[in-house]
Structure 1
Amino acid sequence: MKIALIGDIHSRFAQAEQVVTKIRTDQTEAEIICMGDVFEVEKKPVYSADETAIEPMPLSDYVMDSTHPFIHTLNTFPGVIGNQEEKLMKLMPSTQIPENIAIFLGYPREITKGDLLFIHGHQLSWVERDPDVFHPLIENAMLTYRLCFYGHNHDQRLFGVNQVDGEMLYEEIPIQLGSPIPLDKYEKYLINVGDIKSTPSKWAIYCSDADTITFYELSPAKV
Protein backbone atom coordinates (compact mmCIF):
# COMPACT_ATOMS: atom_id res chain seq x y z
CA MET A 1 0.00 0.00 0.00
CA LYS A 2 1.19 3.49 -0.90
CA ILE A 3 -0.39 6.65 0.46
CA ALA A 4 0.41 10.04 -1.07
CA LEU A 5 -0.14 12.90 1.36
CA ILE A 6 -0.88 16.41 0.15
CA GLY A 7 -2.02 19.31 2.28
CA ASP A 8 -2.07 23.02 3.04
CA ILE A 9 -3.08 23.89 -0.50
CA HIS A 10 -4.50 27.29 0.53
CA SER A 11 -6.25 27.73 -2.83
CA ARG A 12 -3.08 27.15 -4.88
CA PHE A 13 -5.03 24.79 -7.09
CA ALA A 14 -2.74 25.02 -10.12
CA GLN A 15 0.15 23.85 -7.95
CA ALA A 16 -2.02 21.11 -6.45
CA GLU A 17 -2.93 19.91 -9.93
CA GLN A 18 0.76 19.70 -10.87
CA VAL A 19 1.52 17.66 -7.76
CA VAL A 20 -1.41 15.27 -8.22
CA THR A 21 -0.47 14.80 -11.88
CA LYS A 22 3.09 13.97 -10.81
CA ILE A 23 1.84 11.48 -8.21
CA ARG A 24 -0.51 9.79 -10.66
CA THR A 25 2.26 9.53 -13.24
CA ASP A 26 5.02 8.23 -10.97
CA GLN A 27 3.03 6.38 -8.29
CA THR A 28 -0.03 5.14 -10.12
CA GLU A 29 -1.10 2.80 -7.31
CA ALA A 30 -0.92 5.41 -4.53
CA GLU A 31 -4.02 6.46 -2.64
CA ILE A 32 -4.15 10.23 -2.15
CA ILE A 33 -5.19 11.75 1.18
CA CYS A 34 -5.72 15.48 1.62
CA MET A 35 -4.35 16.78 4.92
CA GLY A 36 -6.56 19.87 5.26
CA ASP A 37 -6.48 23.61 4.53
CA VAL A 38 -7.64 23.18 0.96
CA PHE A 39 -8.78 26.81 0.87
CA GLU A 40 -7.34 30.19 1.73
CA VAL A 41 -10.05 32.22 3.44
CA GLU A 42 -8.85 35.82 3.32
CA LYS A 43 -10.27 38.96 4.84
CA LYS A 44 -9.92 41.89 2.47
CA PRO A 45 -10.97 45.50 3.10
CA VAL A 46 -13.47 46.99 0.65
CA TYR A 47 -14.35 50.66 0.73
CA SER A 48 -17.63 52.44 0.11
CA ALA A 49 -18.06 54.33 -3.15
CA ASP A 50 -20.14 56.95 -1.32
CA GLU A 51 -18.15 60.12 -2.03
CA THR A 52 -20.26 62.12 0.42
CA ALA A 53 -18.82 60.16 3.33
CA ILE A 54 -16.22 62.04 5.34
CA GLU A 55 -14.05 58.91 5.42
CA PRO A 56 -14.26 55.68 3.45
CA MET A 57 -16.40 53.15 5.30
CA PRO A 58 -14.46 49.91 5.75
CA LEU A 59 -16.37 46.74 5.03
CA SER A 60 -15.13 43.21 5.62
CA ASP A 61 -15.33 40.73 2.80
CA TYR A 62 -14.07 37.19 3.17
CA VAL A 63 -13.03 35.89 -0.21
CA MET A 64 -11.77 32.55 -1.47
CA ASP A 65 -11.40 30.72 -4.75
CA SER A 66 -14.37 28.38 -4.96
CA THR A 67 -14.58 27.96 -8.73
CA HIS A 68 -11.28 26.46 -9.84
CA PRO A 69 -12.01 23.30 -11.88
CA PHE A 70 -9.44 21.24 -9.99
CA ILE A 71 -11.59 21.48 -6.85
CA HIS A 72 -13.77 18.76 -8.37
CA THR A 73 -10.78 16.43 -8.52
CA LEU A 74 -9.69 17.23 -4.98
CA ASN A 75 -13.10 16.45 -3.53
CA THR A 76 -12.84 12.88 -4.78
CA PHE A 77 -10.00 12.23 -2.29
CA PRO A 78 -10.50 11.34 1.36
CA GLY A 79 -9.16 13.96 3.73
CA VAL A 80 -9.15 15.62 7.13
CA ILE A 81 -10.48 19.03 8.04
CA GLY A 82 -8.12 21.98 8.46
CA ASN A 83 -8.41 25.24 10.33
CA GLN A 84 -9.25 27.13 7.11
CA GLU A 85 -12.30 24.94 6.56
CA GLU A 86 -13.35 25.44 10.18
CA LYS A 87 -12.91 29.18 9.72
CA LEU A 88 -15.15 29.10 6.66
CA MET A 89 -17.89 27.27 8.57
CA LYS A 90 -17.89 30.06 11.16
CA LEU A 91 -18.16 32.77 8.52
CA MET A 92 -20.81 31.39 6.19
CA PRO A 93 -24.26 29.98 6.91
CA SER A 94 -24.40 26.37 5.80
CA THR A 95 -27.18 27.22 3.34
CA GLN A 96 -24.82 29.54 1.44
CA ILE A 97 -21.93 27.11 1.07
CA PRO A 98 -21.70 25.63 -2.45
CA GLU A 99 -22.01 21.87 -2.66
CA ASN A 100 -18.50 21.41 -4.07
CA ILE A 101 -17.10 23.25 -1.02
CA ALA A 102 -19.37 21.60 1.56
CA ILE A 103 -17.69 18.26 0.85
CA PHE A 104 -14.45 19.54 2.38
CA LEU A 105 -16.24 21.01 5.38
CA GLY A 106 -17.58 17.56 6.14
CA TYR A 107 -14.13 16.02 6.39
CA PRO A 108 -13.43 14.26 9.71
CA ARG A 109 -10.98 15.55 12.33
CA GLU A 110 -8.73 12.59 11.63
CA ILE A 111 -8.35 9.43 9.58
CA THR A 112 -6.90 6.24 11.04
CA LYS A 113 -5.60 3.15 9.27
CA GLY A 114 -4.34 0.57 11.76
CA ASP A 115 -1.46 2.25 13.59
CA LEU A 116 -1.44 5.25 11.23
CA LEU A 117 -2.99 8.60 12.19
CA PHE A 118 -3.67 11.41 9.72
CA ILE A 119 -4.60 14.81 11.16
CA HIS A 120 -4.17 18.43 10.05
CA GLY A 121 -2.51 19.33 13.33
CA HIS A 122 -4.08 22.61 14.50
CA GLN A 123 -6.11 20.67 17.07
CA LEU A 124 -2.98 19.44 18.85
CA SER A 125 -0.66 20.86 21.50
CA TRP A 126 2.59 22.14 20.00
CA VAL A 127 6.08 22.80 21.36
CA GLU A 128 8.79 25.14 20.08
CA ARG A 129 12.10 23.36 20.57
CA ASP A 130 14.05 26.26 19.08
CA PRO A 131 13.19 29.13 16.69
CA ASP A 132 13.36 26.79 13.69
CA VAL A 133 11.74 23.66 15.12
CA PHE A 134 8.05 23.63 16.01
CA HIS A 135 6.03 20.42 16.18
CA PRO A 136 2.97 18.87 17.84
CA LEU A 137 3.22 16.67 20.90
CA ILE A 138 2.31 13.00 20.89
CA GLU A 139 0.00 12.63 23.85
CA ASN A 140 -3.27 11.12 25.02
CA ALA A 141 -5.00 9.08 22.30
CA MET A 142 -2.15 9.72 19.86
CA LEU A 143 0.02 7.36 21.90
CA THR A 144 -1.82 4.39 20.40
CA TYR A 145 -0.50 5.18 16.91
CA ARG A 146 2.95 4.47 15.52
CA LEU A 147 2.98 6.98 12.66
CA CYS A 148 1.36 10.40 13.03
CA PHE A 149 1.07 12.34 9.78
CA TYR A 150 0.27 16.05 10.02
CA GLY A 151 0.69 19.46 8.38
CA HIS A 152 -0.53 22.91 9.42
CA ASN A 153 2.76 24.80 9.83
CA HIS A 154 4.09 24.25 6.30
CA ASP A 155 7.35 22.71 7.46
CA GLN A 156 8.26 19.33 5.99
CA ARG A 157 10.05 17.35 8.73
CA LEU A 158 10.47 13.91 10.25
CA PHE A 159 10.83 13.17 13.96
CA GLY A 160 11.55 9.88 15.68
CA VAL A 161 9.75 9.67 19.02
CA ASN A 162 10.66 7.47 21.97
CA GLN A 163 9.15 7.25 25.44
CA VAL A 164 11.80 7.13 28.18
CA ASP A 165 10.75 7.04 31.85
CA GLY A 166 7.36 8.41 30.91
CA GLU A 167 8.79 11.31 28.88
CA MET A 168 8.39 11.63 25.13
CA LEU A 169 11.72 12.39 23.44
CA TYR A 170 11.72 13.84 19.92
CA GLU A 171 14.71 13.50 17.60
CA GLU A 172 14.69 15.12 14.19
CA ILE A 173 15.73 12.81 11.36
CA PRO A 174 17.38 14.39 8.29
CA ILE A 175 15.46 13.99 5.05
CA GLN A 176 16.77 13.78 1.51
CA LEU A 177 14.19 14.55 -1.15
CA GLY A 178 13.24 11.58 -3.29
CA SER A 179 15.08 9.04 -1.12
CA PRO A 180 12.96 6.54 0.85
CA ILE A 181 13.65 6.66 4.59
CA PRO A 182 13.25 3.29 6.34
CA LEU A 183 11.23 3.40 9.53
CA ASP A 184 11.81 1.33 12.66
CA LYS A 185 8.77 -0.77 13.43
CA TYR A 186 9.42 -0.35 17.17
CA GLU A 187 9.58 3.44 17.06
CA LYS A 188 6.96 6.17 16.78
CA TYR A 189 7.25 8.97 14.23
CA LEU A 190 5.88 12.45 13.63
CA ILE A 191 5.73 13.13 9.92
CA ASN A 192 5.03 16.61 8.55
CA VAL A 193 4.15 15.96 4.93
CA GLY A 194 4.88 19.51 3.74
CA ASP A 195 2.60 22.00 1.99
CA ILE A 196 1.38 22.72 -1.51
CA LYS A 197 1.17 26.49 -0.92
CA SER A 198 4.90 27.14 -0.84
CA THR A 199 7.15 27.25 -3.86
CA PRO A 200 8.29 24.61 -4.44
CA SER A 201 5.25 22.60 -3.39
CA LYS A 202 5.98 19.64 -1.14
CA TRP A 203 4.33 16.31 -0.37
CA ALA A 204 5.18 12.84 0.96
CA ILE A 205 4.47 9.20 0.15
CA TYR A 206 4.28 6.40 2.70
CA CYS A 207 4.86 2.81 1.52
CA SER A 208 3.53 0.26 3.99
CA ASP A 209 5.11 -2.76 2.27
CA ALA A 210 8.63 -1.35 2.62
CA ASP A 211 7.71 0.74 5.69
CA THR A 212 9.33 3.85 4.25
CA ILE A 213 8.48 7.54 3.99
CA THR A 214 9.68 9.56 1.00
CA PHE A 215 9.54 13.35 0.79
CA TYR A 216 9.17 15.24 -2.47
CA GLU A 217 9.05 18.75 -3.83
CA LEU A 218 7.93 20.09 -7.19
CA SER A 219 10.37 21.96 -9.36
CA PRO A 220 9.37 25.65 -9.52
CA ALA A 221 9.78 25.44 -13.28
CA LYS A 222 6.77 23.11 -13.40
CA VAL A 223 4.39 25.40 -11.50
Structure 2
Amino acid sequence: MQYALLGDIHSSIEDLKAVLGHISIEAPHAEVIGLGDLYECTVSKKDLRGQIYPSVNEVIKHPEGFDKLLTFPSVYGNQEERILLLTEHAEPLRDYLHDLSETLSAGEAVIIHGHQWNSDERNAWLNAQIPDKTIVFHGHTHRAGYTRDQQEMLISGRGKISLSGKRNIVNVGAVVGSREWVLFNAEERTVRFMRAQRG
Protein backbone atom coordinates (compact mmCIF):
# COMPACT_ATOMS: atom_id res chain seq x y z
CA MET A 1 0.00 0.00 0.00
CA GLN A 2 1.25 3.46 -0.92
CA TYR A 3 0.48 6.61 1.04
CA ALA A 4 0.93 10.18 -0.16
CA LEU A 5 1.52 12.28 2.93
CA LEU A 6 1.24 16.06 2.86
CA GLY A 7 0.88 18.76 5.47
CA ASP A 8 1.22 22.41 6.41
CA ILE A 9 -0.99 23.69 3.62
CA HIS A 10 -1.97 26.88 5.47
CA SER A 11 -4.85 27.64 3.06
CA SER A 12 -2.53 27.83 0.04
CA ILE A 13 -4.88 26.65 -2.69
CA GLU A 14 -2.39 26.97 -5.54
CA ASP A 15 0.29 24.98 -3.73
CA LEU A 16 -2.25 22.32 -2.75
CA LYS A 17 -3.51 22.00 -6.33
CA ALA A 18 0.08 21.58 -7.52
CA VAL A 19 0.85 18.88 -4.96
CA LEU A 20 -2.38 16.96 -5.57
CA GLY A 21 -1.71 17.14 -9.30
CA HIS A 22 1.81 15.81 -8.75
CA ILE A 23 0.47 12.97 -6.60
CA SER A 24 -2.04 12.04 -9.33
CA ILE A 25 0.88 11.60 -11.76
CA GLU A 26 3.52 10.02 -9.48
CA ALA A 27 1.28 7.83 -7.30
CA PRO A 28 -2.29 7.80 -8.66
CA HIS A 29 -3.36 4.90 -6.46
CA ALA A 30 -1.82 6.13 -3.22
CA GLU A 31 -4.03 6.96 -0.26
CA VAL A 32 -3.62 10.63 0.56
CA ILE A 33 -3.36 11.62 4.24
CA GLY A 34 -2.92 15.11 5.68
CA LEU A 35 -0.63 16.06 8.54
CA GLY A 36 -2.54 19.11 9.78
CA ASP A 37 -2.38 22.88 9.46
CA LEU A 38 -4.81 22.65 6.59
CA TYR A 39 -6.01 26.21 7.14
CA GLU A 40 -4.15 29.37 8.08
CA CYS A 41 -5.42 31.05 11.23
CA THR A 42 -5.28 34.85 10.84
CA VAL A 43 -5.02 35.47 14.60
CA SER A 44 -1.49 34.86 15.85
CA LYS A 45 -0.69 32.90 18.98
CA LYS A 46 0.57 36.04 20.75
CA ASP A 47 -2.78 37.76 20.12
CA LEU A 48 -4.85 35.15 21.98
CA ARG A 49 -6.59 36.93 24.84
CA GLY A 50 -9.64 34.76 25.36
CA GLN A 51 -11.62 36.49 22.64
CA ILE A 52 -14.33 34.57 20.78
CA TYR A 53 -15.33 35.27 17.18
CA PRO A 54 -18.83 34.53 15.85
CA SER A 55 -17.65 32.52 12.83
CA VAL A 56 -14.67 30.45 11.73
CA ASN A 57 -14.47 32.54 8.57
CA GLU A 58 -13.46 35.55 10.65
CA VAL A 59 -10.24 33.85 11.80
CA ILE A 60 -9.01 31.91 8.76
CA LYS A 61 -7.76 32.42 5.24
CA HIS A 62 -10.48 30.70 3.25
CA PRO A 63 -9.96 30.83 -0.53
CA GLU A 64 -12.93 29.94 -2.70
CA GLY A 65 -12.89 26.27 -3.69
CA PHE A 66 -10.30 25.29 -1.07
CA ASP A 67 -12.64 23.07 0.96
CA LYS A 68 -13.44 20.96 -2.11
CA LEU A 69 -9.78 19.93 -2.35
CA LEU A 70 -9.76 18.50 1.18
CA THR A 71 -11.07 15.08 0.17
CA PHE A 72 -8.50 13.19 2.26
CA PRO A 73 -8.36 12.37 5.98
CA SER A 74 -6.06 14.49 8.11
CA VAL A 75 -4.86 14.94 11.66
CA TYR A 76 -5.24 18.35 13.29
CA GLY A 77 -2.42 20.84 13.68
CA ASN A 78 -1.77 23.87 15.83
CA GLN A 79 -3.63 26.09 13.35
CA GLU A 80 -6.78 24.00 13.81
CA GLU A 81 -6.34 24.12 17.59
CA ARG A 82 -6.14 27.92 17.50
CA ILE A 83 -9.19 28.22 15.23
CA LEU A 84 -11.18 26.13 17.69
CA LEU A 85 -9.98 28.23 20.63
CA LEU A 86 -11.19 31.39 18.91
CA THR A 87 -14.67 30.13 18.01
CA GLU A 88 -17.41 28.23 19.80
CA HIS A 89 -20.56 28.30 17.67
CA ALA A 90 -21.40 25.11 15.80
CA GLU A 91 -21.04 25.39 12.02
CA PRO A 92 -20.03 22.82 9.39
CA LEU A 93 -16.41 23.94 9.00
CA ARG A 94 -15.82 24.19 12.74
CA ASP A 95 -17.42 20.77 13.26
CA TYR A 96 -15.10 19.34 10.60
CA LEU A 97 -12.02 20.77 12.32
CA HIS A 98 -13.25 19.64 15.74
CA ASP A 99 -13.59 16.05 14.51
CA LEU A 100 -10.02 15.75 13.17
CA SER A 101 -7.94 13.16 15.06
CA GLU A 102 -4.61 13.75 16.77
CA THR A 103 -3.13 10.69 15.04
CA LEU A 104 -3.89 8.48 12.06
CA SER A 105 -2.30 5.28 10.80
CA ALA A 106 -0.61 4.51 7.49
CA GLY A 107 0.10 0.81 7.67
CA GLU A 108 2.34 0.36 10.71
CA ALA A 109 3.28 4.05 10.75
CA VAL A 110 1.67 6.78 12.83
CA ILE A 111 0.80 10.23 11.46
CA ILE A 112 0.86 13.25 13.80
CA HIS A 113 1.27 16.99 13.20
CA GLY A 114 4.28 17.52 15.49
CA HIS A 115 3.34 20.61 17.49
CA GLN A 116 2.82 18.38 20.52
CA TRP A 117 6.51 18.52 21.45
CA ASN A 118 9.38 20.99 21.52
CA SER A 119 12.12 20.11 19.06
CA ASP A 120 14.56 18.99 21.75
CA GLU A 121 11.90 16.87 23.47
CA ARG A 122 10.60 14.99 20.43
CA ASN A 123 12.11 11.59 21.23
CA ALA A 124 11.13 11.74 24.90
CA TRP A 125 7.54 12.69 23.95
CA LEU A 126 7.28 9.88 21.39
CA ASN A 127 8.77 7.35 23.81
CA ALA A 128 6.23 8.34 26.45
CA GLN A 129 3.15 8.66 24.22
CA ILE A 130 3.58 6.16 21.37
CA PRO A 131 6.54 3.94 22.28
CA ASP A 132 5.44 1.03 20.10
CA LYS A 133 5.53 2.95 16.80
CA THR A 134 8.74 2.47 14.81
CA ILE A 135 7.76 4.81 11.95
CA VAL A 136 6.46 8.32 12.70
CA PHE A 137 5.49 10.94 10.11
CA HIS A 138 5.00 14.56 11.12
CA GLY A 139 5.15 18.12 9.83
CA HIS A 140 4.87 21.44 11.69
CA THR A 141 8.42 22.77 11.18
CA HIS A 142 8.13 23.14 7.37
CA ARG A 143 11.50 21.41 7.00
CA ALA A 144 11.66 18.02 5.29
CA GLY A 145 14.04 15.50 6.83
CA TYR A 146 14.29 12.27 8.73
CA THR A 147 16.11 10.58 11.57
CA ARG A 148 16.93 6.93 12.11
CA ASP A 149 17.51 5.97 15.72
CA GLN A 150 17.97 9.66 16.61
CA GLN A 151 20.59 10.23 13.90
CA GLU A 152 19.90 12.84 11.18
CA MET A 153 20.02 11.13 7.79
CA LEU A 154 20.86 12.61 4.41
CA ILE A 155 18.11 13.05 1.83
CA SER A 156 19.56 12.57 -1.64
CA GLY A 157 17.31 13.27 -4.60
CA ARG A 158 14.00 11.46 -5.03
CA GLY A 159 15.31 7.92 -4.59
CA LYS A 160 13.77 5.40 -2.23
CA ILE A 161 14.98 5.52 1.34
CA SER A 162 14.66 2.35 3.41
CA LEU A 163 13.22 2.80 6.88
CA SER A 164 15.28 0.46 9.02
CA GLY A 165 16.38 0.56 12.62
CA LYS A 166 14.36 0.85 15.81
CA ARG A 167 12.64 4.17 15.03
CA ASN A 168 12.37 6.33 11.93
CA ILE A 169 10.95 9.84 12.25
CA VAL A 170 10.08 11.52 8.95
CA ASN A 171 9.23 15.20 8.56
CA VAL A 172 7.29 15.52 5.31
CA GLY A 173 7.99 19.23 4.85
CA ALA A 174 5.35 21.77 3.81
CA VAL A 175 2.90 22.18 0.98
CA VAL A 176 2.78 25.97 1.43
CA GLY A 177 5.72 27.60 -0.29
CA SER A 178 7.74 24.41 -0.81
CA ARG A 179 5.14 22.06 -2.38
CA GLU A 180 6.72 19.10 -0.58
CA TRP A 181 5.16 15.72 0.15
CA VAL A 182 6.31 12.18 0.92
CA LEU A 183 5.45 8.90 -0.78
CA PHE A 184 5.45 6.04 1.74
CA ASN A 185 5.35 2.41 0.64
CA ALA A 186 4.16 0.48 3.69
CA GLU A 187 5.05 -2.98 2.34
CA GLU A 188 8.57 -2.00 1.30
CA ARG A 189 9.04 0.31 4.32
CA THR A 190 10.45 2.98 2.01
CA VAL A 191 9.88 6.70 1.54
CA ARG A 192 10.56 9.12 -1.29
CA PHE A 193 10.74 12.84 -0.63
CA MET A 194 8.80 14.59 -3.39
CA ARG A 195 8.31 18.17 -4.56
CA ALA A 196 5.84 19.53 -7.09
CA GLN A 197 7.46 21.93 -9.51
CA ARG A 198 6.28 25.46 -10.20
CA GLY A 199 5.03 26.46 -13.63
TM-score range, shorter chain: 0.7 to 0.9
Q: Assess if the C-alpha contact under 8 Å between 1:72 and 1:100 holds in 2.
A: no
Corresponding residue for residue 13 of structure 1? 13
The residue aligned with 2:128 is 140
Residue aligning to 2:105: 112
Please identify, of 109-118 and 209-218, the stretch whose mean Cα deviation from structure 2 is larger: 109-118
Question: Which of residues 72, 90, 94 is equivalent to 2:89?
Answer: 94
Alpha-carbon shift at residue 179 of structure 1 (Å): 1.1
Does residue 216 (structure 1) correspond to residue 194 (structure 2)? The answer is yes
User: Is 1:204 aligned with 2:182?
Assistant: yes
- What's the Cα RMSD here? 2.1
Question: Who is 1:157 aligned against?
Answer: 145
Shift of 1:93: 1.7
How big is the shift at 1:143? 1.5
Contact 1:157 1:194 (C-alpha < 8 Å) held by counterparts: yes
Once the two structures are superposed, residues 30-54 of structure 1 have per-residue CA deviations (whole angstroms, 9 ceiling, x without a partner) of 000010001111139xxxxxxxxxx
Task: Tell me, in whole angstroms, the C-alpha distance in 2 between the residues paired with 1:114 and 1:201.
Answer: 24
* Structure-to-structure mapping, 1:54-65, within 5 angstroms: 63-65=59-61
Q: CA deviation at 1:73?
A: 2.3
Preserved contact between residue 13 and residue 63 of structure 2 (Cα < 8 Å): no
Cα deviation for residue 113 of structure 1 reads 4.4
Q: Report the Cα offset of residue 101 of structure 1.
A: 5.0
TM-score by length of 2: 0.85
| Percentage identity across paired residues of the two chains | 26
Aligned length: 186
Rg larger in 1 or in 2?
Answer: 1
Task: State the TM-score, normalized to the length of structure 1.
Answer: 0.76
Is the counterpart of residue 183 in structure 1 residue 155 in structure 2? Answer: no
Q: 1:83 aligns with which of 75, 78, 82?
A: 78
TM-fit CA distance, 1:152: 0.7
- In structure 2, runs of 5+ residues without a counterpart are 45-51
C-alpha change, 1:202 and 1:113, in structure 2 (3 Å) is: closer
Q: Does structure 2 retain, via aligned residues, the 8 Å contact 1:149–1:192? A: yes
Runs of 4+ with >3 A deviation = 60-63
Corresponding residue for residue 32 of structure 1: 32
Provide the rounded CA distance (Å) in 2 between the counterparts of 1:211 and 1:108.
Answer: 24
User: 1:55 corresponds to which residue?
Assistant: none
Give unmatched runs, 5+ long, in structure 1: 45-59, 128-134, 162-169
Show the counterpart of 1:51: none
Partners of 1:94 and 1:208 lie apart in 2 by 40
Secondary structure at 1:176 match in 2: coil
In 2, the alpha carbon distance for the partners of 1:19 and 1:114 equals 22
